[in-house]
């Protein structure tokens, strides 16, 4: 019995100790960010001194926790279910509809939103504003623009002008044909254009948007409406977009299903052109392909004179409704997204700034990559915000994969995708 009593006291002390330890410490707020090769835009969180000044001024500790990008959505969801979620979430904007559907996020205060929208450059404004000045978070610098990148040396080798990327679909097909290489047995060793056709259906859709938008089609009629709307997948533009790549696969044979990831293929030199986030190439090329000379431009359009459109994606600093330290969280977010911090961090990490005023300062003013991005930004559109976005993208991604893998015809696949997308929209509107 004596032993039992001693055990009980020891146990009690053990259980109390964390409470005792916490009593006198500074408050801690947690920030979750995705880490991994994909996430060039979150690199700065690895720096433990990132929030040093903020921490000192507010007697608070900001704990940045790295999560794996692929499982981050689940983690956020599970944490919300268990009511044990971080205070700041650094999320991919394409996750936004999923979270909004579950009513998980708190919007930015109206006054702060207004101030931000007035001070940032136009493409950031486009990314931040979800209708009538409503902001669900602050977009990160180094936003993703989907652009065409090409290998200048391989262009020269094929007799093409390395400074002149293809501007129309016809040119695009012609260039791709010239750039494709085969070995003695007829296997393709280098594709003119690498496509994304495996993996998550959303990724497939992202990298096909240039063709969809370029052909004048869209996913949904009202991109800013949270609920309702009609899917616009099965349109002449949508069909043309799918048919373009299908022809390059079957007729031109300038692309192939054997090459899994456009960016990896491009960096390894086995693809001459690809269309995806330029910031990834910019981030990975120095280490993975130091000799590679590449150019970046807007994706080609169906015919001369058409307006190019491309996809804008970004990361958002957001605060979940169930966060325990919301006021501090917003304060930290506003601090790191101030004009001074924007300038300092963009300079340090080689990214493009968000405040209009910062664009006029060096080094951004003369950086060729940043200035190149400026050419692309005006043509950028962000993803629709509809709560059914996940379902719509699943349907579209499925259709794209089926067509390119010859499992279904263009008409059948798009009709089916439109049906499924409208179903998802109806479900989400309930």
Partner 1 sequence: MSRSTLVAVGKLPLYLGVSGVAILMILPFYWMVMTAFVPAPDIIAFPPKWIPSRLTLQHFAEAFAKAPWLAYYWNSFVVAVVSVGCSLLFGLFAGYAFAVYRFPLQNFFFILILATLMVPVQVTSVALYILLAQIGWVDTYQGILAPNFASAFGVFMIQQGIKSIPVDLIEAARMDGAGETRIVLTIIAPLIKTTLATVAMILFLGSWNDFLWPVIVINSQDLRTIPVGIALFKDPYGSMNYGPLMAATVISTGPMLLAYIISQKYMIRGIALTGLKG
Partner 2 sequence: MASHRNRSVRQILARLHARRVLHAYLFIAPVIVLFGIFRVAPAIQTLLYSFYKVELLRGRFTFIGLENFTALLTDEIFRKATVNTLTFVVTIVPISAFLGLILAVLFNAKFHLKEFFKAVYFAPMVTSTVAAAVVWWWMYNPQFGIFNVLLKLVGLPEQPWLMSSHMALPSIIIFSIWKTLGYNMIIYLAGLQAIPQQFYEAATIDGAGAVKRFWRISVPLLAPTTTFLLIYNGILAFQVFDQVFVLTGGGPANSTNVVVLDLYRQAFERYNFGYASAEAMVLFVFILGVTVVQYVYSKRFEVTY
Scan for tokens 């010239």, then name that residue: 178
Residue 27 forms beta bridges with which residues? 60
Q: 79 vs 356, which CB is nearer to partner 2?
A: 79
Phi-psi category of 92—alpha, beta or left, where left has phi over 0 and alpha has psi -120 to 50? beta
Binding partner of 68, given partner 1, partner 2, none, CB within 5-8 angstroms per partner class: partner 1
Tokens representing residue 44 in the block: 């700065």
Stretch that binds partner 2, among 3-11, 130-138, 217-225, 404-412 (CB under 8 A): 404-412
- Nearer Cβ to partner 1 (74/338): 74
What does 416 interact with, of partner 1, partner 2, none (CB < 5 to 8 A by kind)? partner 2
- Between the alpha carbon of residue 358 and those of residues 6, 345, 373, 399, 409, the distances in Å are 65, 11, 15, 42, 49
Q: Which is nearer to partner 2, 201 or 380 (CB)?
A: 201
Does residue 257 interact with partner 2 by CB under 8 A? yes
Residues 54-113 interacting with partner 2 (rule: CB under 8 A)? 73-74, 77, 80-81, 98, 102-104
Helix (H/G/I), strand (E/B), else coil: 188: strand
Task: Collapse the DSSP code of 430 into the 3-class scheme (helix H, G, I; strand E, B; otherwise coil) and give the result.
Answer: coil
Give per-residue burial for 94-106: e unless 16+ CB within 10 Å, then b: bbbbbbbbeebbb
Count of residues near partner 2 by CB under 8 A:
31
Residues 6 or more apart whose CB falls under 8 angstroms from that of 227 comprise 386, 387, 425, 428, 429
The residue among 119 and 408 lying less far from partner 2, judged by its C-beta, is 408
- Cβ-in-10-Å burial (0-12, 13-18, 19+) of 25 comes to exposed
Which one of partner 1, partner 2, none is in contact with 264 (Cβ closer than 5 to 8 A by kind)? partner 1
Examine residue 363 and say whether the peptide bond preceding it is cis (omega within 30 degrees of 0).
yes
Q: Please, which residue, 69 or 335, has the CB nearer to partner 1? A: 69
Q: Which of residues 309 and 424 has its CB atom nearest to partner 2 in the complex?
A: 424
| Residue 389, contacted partner among partner 1, partner 2, none, CB below 5-8 A by kind | none
Alpha helices (H) along 196-323: 201-206, 209-214, 236-247, 262-268, 278-288
Cβ pair 300, 167 in contact under 8 A: yes
Contact flag: residue 36 with partner 2 (CB under 8 A): no
Residue 38 in the binding site for partner 2 (CB under 8 A): no
Where helices occur in 229-338 by DSSP H, the ranges are 236-247, 262-268, 278-288, 326-336
Counting contacts by CB under 8 A, is residue 318 touching partner 2?
no
Residue 104 CB, shortest distance to partner 2, in Å, is 7
Short-list 388, 387, 394, CA closest to 416: 394
CB of 83 to partner 1, least distance (A): 8
Q: Which is nearer to partner 2, 348 or 406 (CB)?
A: 406
Q: By the criterion CB under 8 A, which residues form the site for partner 1?
A: 35-38, 65-68, 70-72, 74-75, 78-79, 81-84, 196, 199-200, 203, 260-261, 263-264, 267
Residue 258 binds which entry of partner 1, partner 2, none, with Cβ cut-offs from 5 to 8 Å by kind?
A: partner 2
Q: Hey, which residues between 190 and 249 contact partner 2 (CB under 8 A)? A: 197-200
Residues contributing to the site for partner 2 (CB under 8 A): 73-74, 77, 80-81, 98, 102-104, 185-187, 189, 197-200, 257-260, 270, 390, 398, 401-402, 404-407, 416
């Amino acid at each position: 019995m004596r032993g039992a009593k001693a055990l009980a006291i020891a146990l009690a002390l053990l259980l109390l100790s964390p409470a005792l330890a916490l009593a006198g410490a500074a408050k801690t707020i947690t920030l979750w960010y995705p880490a991994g090769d994909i996430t060039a835009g979150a690199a700065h969180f690895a720096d433990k001194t990132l929030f040093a000044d903020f921490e000192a001024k507010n007697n608070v500790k900001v704990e940045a926790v790295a999560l794996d990008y692929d499982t981050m959505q689940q983690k956020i969801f599970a944490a919300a279910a268990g009511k044990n979620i971080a205070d700041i979430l650094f999320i991919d904007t394409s996750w936004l509809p999923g979270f909004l559907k579950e009513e998980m996020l708190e919007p930015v205060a109206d006054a702060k939103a207004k101030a931000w929208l007035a001070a940032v450059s136009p493409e950031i404004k486009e990314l931040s504003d979800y209708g009538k000045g409503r902001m669900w978070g602050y977009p990160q610098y180094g936003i993703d623009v989907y652009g065409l990148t090409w290998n200048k040396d391989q262009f020269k080798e094929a007799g093409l002008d390395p400074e002149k990327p293809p501007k129309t679909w016809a040119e695009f097909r012609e260039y791709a044909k010239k750039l494709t290489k085969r070995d003695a047995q007829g296997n393709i060793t280098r594709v003119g254009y690498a496509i994304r056709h495996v993996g998550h259906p959303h990724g497939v859709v992202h990298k096909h948007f240039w063709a969809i938008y370029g052909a004048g089609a869209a996913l949904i009629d009202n991109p800013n409406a949270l609920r309702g709307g009609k899917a616009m997948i099965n349109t002449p533009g949508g069909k043309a977009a799918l048919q373009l790549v299908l022809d390059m696969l079957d007729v031109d044979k300038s692309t192939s299903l054997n090459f899994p990831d456009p960016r990896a293929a491009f960096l390894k030199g086995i693809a001459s052109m690809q269309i995806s986030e330029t910031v990834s190439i910019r981030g990975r090329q120095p280490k993975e392909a130091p000799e590679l000379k590449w150019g970046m431009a807007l994706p080609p359009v169906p015919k001369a004179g058409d307006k190019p459109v491309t996809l804008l994606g970004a990361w958002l600093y957001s605060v979940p409704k169930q966060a325990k330290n919301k006021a501090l969280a917003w304060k930290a977010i506003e601090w790191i997204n101030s004009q001074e911090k924007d300038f300092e961090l963009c300079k340090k990490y080689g990214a493009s700034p968000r405040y209009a005023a910062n664009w006029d300062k060096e080094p951004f003013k003369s950086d060729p990559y940043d200035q190149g991005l400026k050419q692309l930004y005006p043509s950028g559109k962000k993803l629709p915000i509809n709560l059914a976005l996940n379902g719509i993208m699943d349907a579209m991604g499925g259709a794209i994969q089926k067509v390119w893998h010859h499992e279904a015809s263009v008409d059948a696949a798009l009709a089916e995708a439109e049906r499924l997308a409208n179903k998802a929209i109806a479900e989400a509107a309930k």
